[in-house]
Amino acid sequence: MSYRAIVVGLGGLGSATLYRLAADLGPGVLGLEQFELGHARGASQDHSRIIRLAQHQEEYAALAEPAYKAWHEVEAQACQQIITRTGGLVIEDRVERAGIASGNRNIEGYTAMFDRFGVAYERLDADELVARWPQFALAGGEQALYQPDSGIVDAARANAVHRALARAHGAEIRANTPVRAIRPDGEGVAVVTDGGVLRADRVVVTSDAWTNQVLAETGTALPLTVLQEQVTYYATPHLAEFSPSRFPIFMWHGRHNFYGFPVYGEVATKLGQHMGGHETTADDRTFEPDPVRRERYAAFLDRHVPRFGGPELYTKTCLYTVPPDQNFVLDTLPEHPQIVVANGAGHAFKFAALIGQLLAELAVGHTPSQPIGSFSITRPALTDPSYPRSFHV
Query: Rounded mean pLDDT of the chain?
Result: 96
CB 136 within 8 A of CB 304: yes
Over 60: is that where the pLDDT of 392 sits?
no
The domain total for the chain is 2
- pLDDT > 90? residue 96: no
Percent with pLDDT over 90 in the chain:
94
- Residue 354: enclosing H or E segment and its boundaries? helix 352-363
208 falls within a domain: yes
- Residue 52 falls inside a structural domain: no
pLDDT tens by residue, 133-170: 999 999 999 999 999 999 999 999 999 999 999 999 99
User: In this predicted structure, what is the pLDDT of residue 101?
Assistant: 59
Query: Do 249 and 235 sit in the same domain of this protein?
Result: yes
pLDDT tens-place string over residues 209-237: 999 999 999 999 999 999 999 999 999 99
Predicted pLDDT of residue 99: 64
User: Is 61 among the domain residues?
Assistant: no
In a domain, 286, yes or no: yes
Higher-confidence residue of 103 and 59: namely 59
Distance in angstroms (rounded) separating the CA atoms of residues 260 and 300:
11
pLDDT tens string 30-50: 999 999 999 999 998 899 999
Model confidence pTM above 0.85: yes
Domain that holds residue 371: 2-45+156-222+325-382
pLDDT at residue 102 above 90? no
Q: How far apart are CA 4 and CA 66, in angstroms?
A: 27
Does 65 map to a domain?
no
CB 260 within 8 A of CB 269: yes
Quote the pLDDT of residue 393. 42
* Whether residue 142 sits in one domain with residue 263: yes
Q: How far apart are CA 327 and CA 320, in angstroms?
A: 12
Say which CATH number the domain at 16 has: 3.50.50.60
Q: Are residues 242 and 115 in the same domain?
A: yes
Interval 295-334: pLDDT, tens: 999 999 999 999 999 999 999 999 999 999 999 999 999 9
Q: pLDDT at position 149, please? A: 98
Show the beta-strand stretches assigned E in the chain. 2-8, 29-32, 48-51, 83-85, 88-93, 122-125, 142-147, 151-154, 172-174, 179-185, 188-193, 196-205, 225-234, 249-253, 257-261, 269-273, 278-280, 312-322, 329-333, 336-343
Residues 132 and 244 in one domain: yes
